[in-house]
Amino acid sequence: MCSRKTAFRSTCVAGILLTTIACLNACSGSTTKDPIRIGVIGEESSVAGASLTKAAMMAAEEINAKGGVNGRSIQVITYDNHSSAAEGVRAFQRAVSDDKAVVVLGSYLSEVVLAIEPWAARMRVPFITPGASSNDIPKRVHDDYEHNKYTFQATTMSEFVAQSVCDFSHDVLVKQFHLKNAVVMSEDAAWTKPLDARYLDCLPKAGLEVMDHIRFNPDTTDFTPIFNQIERKHPDVIITGISHVGVQPTVQWHDQQVPIPMAGQSSQATNGTFWKDTNGAADGVITRNTAVPGVALTPKTIAFVEDYTKRYGLPPAYCGYSSYDMVYVVAEAIKRAGSTDPDKLVEALEQTDYIGTSGREQFYGRDDPFTHTLKYGPGLITGVHLQWQNGKQVAIWPADVANGKIAFPSFIKLSAK
Amino acid sequence: MLARQILIDGFAIRALYALGAVGFTLIFGVSGVLNLAHGGIMVIAALIGWFTAGEFGAGPYGGALVGILAGLASAYATYLLVVRPIQRSRAIPKEESEIFVLTGTLLWGIMIQTALAYKFTDNPVTMRPILPGVVTLGGVRTPRNEIMIAVVCWLVIGLVWLLVNRTRTGKTLLAASMNPRGLTLLGFELSRVHLVVWSIYGVLAGLAGVLLASFLGTGSGNAGQLTASAFSIVVVGGLGSVSGSLLAAYLVGYLETLTAYLIAPTLRPIPALILLVLVVYIRPQGLLGRR
């Protein structure tokens, strides 16, 4: 068809290429059987960040096995931000511009999510974080709704985490064990600022006087000075706010036999590998988590944990639960919206009322002080408090899901008054 | 009471940092190499030790042994795959070789760290302490393992000192650090001397990594910090000086512990960094450095 003359050859090749591209574009535009693309930005080198992408892929496969969404399959495209905000933003841009994702899920690090949030606004693509808990994420949505309405926080935000710890402290530490005072020990990070503020406000109301408030550098490796400082105050309990660190303070608490129990939010202790990572030093540690393996928060919890564990060899991290749920929530929202148009999707996501793996999931609305974060409370999501005992996570609060009683290792001296 | 607590708490961890830094400074003294993959090598030893102790049921001693061997193997790998090819490359001018080695080991260290993060995640791990339990020492509750670590570190540092100052091999090392050209004229093969010093370094870094894992716990995320700490100890003490590293390890360490106790745990590394800058300004050869 093409002339052999060199002058024509390049024109000819270009012509064929153009026609092919035009055809490809037309083809992809004309069929509705194209997959729905969801970008998932994880942190593959951390237990939590890797669980997030795995859980999303599992949900997508399940949905596809049942026929997909309106006859279209869901395709999860994963990215790794290497725990860096700049790489998180680049991954988001790639997901939207190159890979044509209609929704992006991502990250358990507040620093990363806060960097992506304005890009979700600029590129007008719904962005849901299943793990980052800073209050600023939903607060920005509230303060500038028109721009930031594309961002959703599908995890319990810091203030509610603190509230959950206070509710647990009131019901168990104060009422059952008659503890009277506490020291708050938190790492210096974006998510702990609102957490600590709420701790200082609600712990006294729960019946625990706060004797000291210690914030430390997340790079800390030697916690001896911190534990010694705490011990000199003789508190009844240490309330933690830690996520970047976890293994090291726990091991040192155990090896130095610090006689004070630790409760609060210790995110690494929510991982199924924590016992092995600490060589059993985790024994007695209490933390809040989204769910606990073996405890049916909803009819979906146990099946999810079992399937996930069978598939990946270890139980999901806290953000695995919400990442899994959010793929289903997005699928339902697309059905409700009848399209993948970003604004219609945001509207549909706002109407979410979904029984997920960790509770009933609804988002706060435009007029609430924190917009697009998960609603907290009994009947919705409260979280579970668990304690590590003999290599297992045992649920100890709320009472209706507890499957065990608190037991402390022998070096803990409870100052029962 | 507080003073005693600071003194006792800081002692073991400083001995451990000194142990890591001694190997680091020896390599610099003898072959002029600043190994910025140092932290990575310590973490390899720790993670491999943890993995064999737990997954293969080798127990704390078996795990420690395998960990030290892993440290040795990665020291050899660093020397043979990164340092020596750069030093021997004809494409790199001799006077620029040091900066290329510096860059090479830095990149190698990042590669190690990233690879470890993918294999073992960046969660830190801990090895079971060889001696569990605590004793009360001058009113301060001290883990037995911590005392053992301090003793082991000082013993090993003493052995290194004996090796360097009292044996024939050690004298060759000293000679290599003073006048490498003279040594080659006497018929010594310089590359064999370098291999000896990298072997000593590998064992020291491996041991320090394994002990660190059984004491504070460590993971790929700590690699950079461990390199930085060895680097600042060695700069403050004097590059190439073993006793300078010991002195600096305690100086930097107690400064950090004092800051954590008396000012705020968040500001822990700042005064030590100020000291580092001051030393670079006022006494660039370091406290006990020769040049």
Closest listed residue to residue A37, CA positions, set A64, A68, A67, A74: A74
For chains A and B, count residue pairs whose Cβ atoms are closer than 8 Å.
Answer: 98
Strand partners, A288: A385
B127, part of any domain: yes
Residue B117 lies in a domain: yes
Split at pLDDT 50, 70, 90, the class of A380 is: very high
Considering only CB atoms, which chain B residues are within 8 Å of A276? 54
What residues of chain A lie within 8 A of the CB of B117, using their CB? 45
Provide the pLDDT confidence category of residue A26 given band limits of 50, 70 and 90. very low
Question: Is there a contact between B257 and A225 if contact means CB atoms under 8 Å apart?
Answer: yes
Of B141, B217, B267, the CB nearest to A248: B217
Contact by Cβ (8 Å): A297, A358: yes
Residue B229: inside a domain: no
Q: What is the largest CA-CA distance in chain A?
A: 99
What residue in A sits closest to B141 (Cα-Cα)? A256
Please report whether residue A9 resides in a domain: no
Closest by CA to A278, choosing from B116, B213, B64, B52, is B213
pTM: 0.83
Cβ atoms of A194 and A159 within 8 Å: the answer is yes
Q: Is the pLDDT of residue A413 over 90?
A: no
Q: Are residues A268 and A393 in the same domain?
A: yes
Beta-ladder partners of A103:
A38
**A46–B122 CB contact, under 8 Å:** yes
Task: Report the chain B residue with the minimal C-alpha distance to residue A278.
Answer: B126
> Residue A414 has what pLDDT?
83
Nearest beta carbon to residue A228 from set B5, B126, B222: B5
Between A239 and B136, residue with greater pLDDT? A239
Same domain, A173 and A245: yes
pLDDT, residue A23, reads 44
Does the pLDDT of residue A25 top 60, yes or no? no
Which residues in B lie closer than 8 A to residue A248 (C-beta atoms)?
124, 126, 216-217
Co-location of A166 and A285 in the same domain: yes
Selected residues 104-133 of chain B with any CB under 8 Å from a CB in chain A: 114, 117-118, 121-129, 132
B289/A264 Cα distance (integer angstroms): 49
- Across the interface, do B124 and A277 touch by the CB < 8 Å criterion? yes
Question: Residues near A346 by Cβ (< 8 Å), separated by ≥ 6?
Answer: A126, A149, A150
DSSP B14-44: HHHHHHHHHHHHHHHHHH----TTHHHHHHH
> What's the rounded Cα separation, in Å, for the pair A320 and A357?
10
Residues contacting residue B73 through CB under 8 Å, at least 6 positions apart: B202
Q: Check if B136 contacts A (Cβ < 8 Å).
A: no
- Is residue A131 very low, low, confident or very high in pLDDT (cuts 50, 70, 90)? very high
pLDDT at A114 exceeding the cut of 70:
yes
Residue A39 in contact with residue A104, Cβ under 8 Å?
yes
- pLDDT confidence band for A9 (50 / 70 / 90): low
DSSP notation for chain B: -HHHHHHHHHHHHHHHHHHHHHHHHHHHHHH----TTHHHHHHHHHHHHHHHHHHS--HHHHHHHHHHHHHHHHHHHIIIIIIHHHHH-SSS-GGGHHHHHHHHHHHHHHHHHHHHHHHH-SS-B-PPPSS-SEEEETTEEEEHHHHHHHHHHHHHHHHHHHHHHHSHHHHHHHHHHH-HHHHHHTT--HHHHHHHHHHHHHHHHHHHHHHHHHHT-B-GGGHHHHHHHHHHHHHHH-TT-HHHHHHHHHHHHHHHHHIIIII-GGGTTHHHHHHHHHHHHH-TT-TT---
Among partner residues A45, A224, A279, which is closest to B121 by beta-carbon distance? A45
pLDDT digits (tens, 9 = 90+) for A287-308: 999 888 889 999 999 999 999 9
Same domain, A145 and A249: no
In a domain, B46, yes or no: yes
pLDDT at A10: 53
Say if residue A260 is in the same domain as residue A357. Answer: no
Contacts of A219 in chain B (CB under 8 A): 225, 269
Give the best residue of B56, B118, B122 to mutate against chain A (max A CB count within 10 A). Answer: B122
| Residues A307 and A285 grouped into a single domain | no
The answer to whether residues A58 and A307 touch, using CB atoms and an 8 Å cutoff, is: yes
Q: Do A244 and A342 fall within a single domain?
A: no
Distance CA B200, CA B29 (A): 13
Cross-chain Cβ contact B219/A251 below 8 Å = no
Residue-wise pLDDT for A335-352, tens only, equals 999 999 999 999 999 999
- The mean of the pLDDT values for chain A is 90
Check CB contact under 8 Å for B128 and A279. Answer: yes
- What's the confidence (pLDDT) of residue A7? 47
- Do the domain assignments include residue B72? yes
Contacts of B137 in chain A (CB under 8 A): none
d(CA A94, CA A117): 15
Q: Does B244 contact chain A (CB < 8 Å)?
A: no
Among B217, B222, B260, beta carbon nearest to A225: B260
- What are the chain B neighbours of A221 within 8 Å (beta carbons)? 216-218, 222, 225
Smallest CA–CA distance from A230 into chain B, residue: B261
Sign of the Cα pseudo-torsion (A282, A283, A289, A291, in order): positive
Q: Where residue A417 falls among pLDDT bands split at 50, 70, 90?
A: very low
Range A233-252 average pLDDT: 93
Residue of A45, A221, A228 lying closest to B118 (CB–CB): A45
Number of structural domains found in chain B: 1
Closest Cα in chain A, distance from residue B148 (Å): 13
Other beta carbons within 10 angstroms of residue B281's beta carbon come to 8
What b-and-e string marks burial along A255-271, b requiring 16 or more CB atoms within 10 Å of the CB? bbbbbbbbbbbbbbbbb
Q: In whole angstroms, give the CA distance from residue B229 to residue B235.
A: 10
Q: Tally DSSP H helices, then E strands, for chain A.
A: 14, 14
Where chain B has pLDDT below 50, the residues are none
Q: Which of A146, A164, A190 is nearest to A264 (CA)?
A: A164
pLDDT over 70 percentage in chain A: 92
Q: Using a CB-CB distance cutoff of 8 angstroms, which residues of chain B are in contact with residue A278?
A: 126, 217
Nearest CA in chain A to B217: A248
CB interface of B with A, residues 49-108, below 8 Å: 54
Domain span holding position B118: 2-220
- Does the distance separating the beta carbons of B121 and A83 come in below 8 Å? no
- Here the CATH number for the domain that contains residue A254 is 3.40.50.2300
pLDDT tens for residues A45-79? 888 899 999 999 999 999 999 999 999 999 999 99
Q: How many domains does chain A have?
A: 2
| Closest among A195, A104, A198 to A152, alpha carbons compared | A104
Instruction: Please report the pLDDT score of residue A69 as a whole number.
Output: 94
**What is the distance in angstroms between the Cα of A334 and the nearest Cα belonging to chain B?**
34
Nearest CA in chain A to B213: A248
A2 falls within a domain: no
Residue, of B225 and A250, whose pLDDT is higher: A250
| Nearest residue, CB atoms, B124 vs list A217, A247, A276 | A247
Q: Where does the pLDDT of residue A31 fall: very low under 50, low under 70, confident under 90, or very high at 90 and above?
A: very low
Based on the fold, state whether residues A165 and A150 are members of the same structural domain. Answer: no
A364 pLDDT above the threshold of 90:
yes
Residue A256 sits in which domain range? 159-289+383-397
B126–A248 CB contact, under 8 Å: yes
Task: Determine the straight-line distance between the first and last CA of chain B, rounded to whole angstroms.
Answer: 41
Amino acid at B118: Y
Residue A406 in any domain: the answer is no
DSSP β-bridge partners for residue A36: A74
Same domain, A260 and A389: yes
Residue A30, pLDDT above cutoff 60: no
- Whether the per-residue pLDDT at A1 is higher than 60: the answer is no
The minimum CA-CA distance between B125 and chain A, rounded to whole Å, is: 5
Contact A271, A247 (CB under 8 A): no
By percentage, how much of chain A surpasses pLDDT 90? 77
Alpha-carbon distance A217 to nearest alpha carbon in chain B (angstroms): 4
Asked whether residue A46 falls in the same domain as residue A109, the answer is yes
The shortest CB-CB distance from B126 to any of A44, A247, A256 is to: A247
